[in-house]
Amino acid sequence: AQSVTQLGSHVSVSEGALVLLRCNYSSSVPPYLFWYVQYPNQGLQLLLKYTSAATLVKGINGFEAEFKKSETSFHLTKPSAHMSDAAEYFCAVRGGGADGLTFGKGTHLIIQP
């Protein structure tokens, strides 16, 4: 079984500041980890995924995430926030079976001008 915890249902940062969205996972098997973004009234778009090839994963729109097994974490970062980054972000884990993704509850990212 696997689960994901996202710390902070809402995160607010100033435009140009560092974005840090936290995700911790629990998995009984080597996890496959994902970050998705959801803009208002839209579906989910894949930002990046951890495939075990490298612990630092780069994604779209300048985002990246680092897999830390010792901390069971997969935090999402972006060096400089842009107004267009305002959205809902979901961390998800997949255990390798047919039953798809287990999602965290999401973090709403607010960008202050």
- Which residues would be at the binding site for another protein (CB under 8 A)? 9, 32, 34, 36, 41-46, 49-52, 90, 94, 96-106
- Minimum separation from the CB atom of position 17 to another protein (A): 25
- Name the nearest CA neighbour of 89 among 38, 40, 22: 38
71 three-state secondary structure: coil
Residue 53 or 83: the one with the smaller Cβ distance to another protein is 53
Q: How many CB atoms lie within 10 A of CB 22?
A: 17
> How far is Cα 41 from Cα 108, in angstroms, rounded to an integer?
14
Q: Shortest approach of another protein to residue 16 CB, angstroms?
A: 29
d(CA 13, CA 54) in angstroms, rounded, equals: 28
The residue (of 39 and 79) whose beta carbon lies closer to another protein is 39
User: C-beta of 96: minimal distance to another protein in Å?
Assistant: 6
Q: Closer CB to another protein, residue 39 or residue 112?
A: 39
Measured from the CB atom, the residue of 17 and 32 that comes closer to another protein is 32
Nearest to 30 by CA among 72, 71, 58: 72
State in angstroms the smallest separation of the CB of 113 from another protein.
26
